[in-house]
Homo-oligomer: A and B are copies of this chain.
């Protein structure tokens, strides 16, 4: 399956729904700010996963579309706030929200998108017991997501983050929203609790693999493709899977010292970054990260054994594989 083509096709189908919930209201600068990120496109993996999960369990997918939009709005609200917190000025070549609209409007646009997501969920045309389950899952996911983002901030420039801390952080900041969306889609599609739980686990594992691969790209990715300087995660002192592995496994004290002298050094030269990158490769930390991402991908796919074969199941499998092979 050409997963990129399929993602593009599904994403295009979601474009009209994504654009249908934010009406022309006053004040226009807030409305424009609310629309900026969701309308800009992107891969839209999360909403596509909601719809695919709903169909893969036997639903027709249509009833899950509003939830897909709500999950995409929530994802975008966190991106708007994240860009502001990180002081990032560009996202996929586009000026970030706070750069275009200013800090107060970026904060309000994030808050408003979050509120709109719940407004959409309140209108879901589904049995009330399922609505309650979805409401709970989504709310806990966003709470956890904030915890994960805070952990991520706390971890910056810390020398004591363990592999366990790292996994917990990416589980919260990335996986939980994937999982709430996918499980919600499955429930809307008619899945029983056991199947919905398996879909949840599928998306949790996929999210971990996705974030691990993101962290690998953050150090080894091609800047012309990822759009961000490949060394910056080292300069920022971000404890990724590779850094945790290196800290726990490099026995050569001199080599570890050399790595740590560059880690978190905001003005590290490209030469220093290259040295640090080489140390991570030589020490096996890079290979370890790839193996780990593969393992989570495999665990993710195994969760789909409960589903009958279908094109949507195939897409979900391909999506898990794509999460750790994508170019951006």
Contact = CB atoms under 8 A, between A and B. Distances in A.
A153 B101 CA distance: 12
Interface string A122-164: 1100001101100110111011011101110110000000000
Given A81-B111, A114-B111, A146-B30, A104 B136 contact: no
Interface residues of A, number: 47
B81 A107 contact: yes
Given A121-B135, A143-B119, A151 B114 contact: no
A142 B110 CA distance: 11
A116 B118 CA distance: 13
A84 interface: yes
A306 interface: no
A147 B84 contact: no
B131 A27 contact: no
A35 to B, nearest CB: 14
Given A119-B143, A128-B128, A150 B105 contact: yes
Contact of A27 (B114, B116, B145, B151): B151
Say whether chain A's binding surface is mostly helix, strand, loop, or mixed. helix
A131 B128 CA distance: 9
Interface string A15-34: 00000000001110110000
Interface of A: 25-27, 29-30, 77-78, 81, 84-85, 103-105, 107-112, 114-116, 118-119, 121-123, 128-129, 131-132, 135-136, 138-140, 142-143, 145-147, 149-151, 153-154, 168
30 contacts: A25-B147, A27-B147, A27-B154, A81-B108, A85-B103, A85-B104, A85-B107, A104-B150, A105-B150, A105-B153, A108-B146, A111-B142, A111-B146, A112-B142, A112-B143, A114-B142, A115-B140, A115-B142, A118-B135, A118-B138, A118-B139, A119-B139, A119-B143, A121-B135, A121-B139, A128-B128, A128-B129, A128-B131, A131-B131, A131-B132
Given A111-B114, A115-B140, 14 more contacts: A26-B151, A29-B150, A29-B154, A85-B104, A104-B150, A105-B153, A109-B146, A111-B142, A112-B146, A114-B114, A118-B139, A119-B136, A123-B136, A128-B132
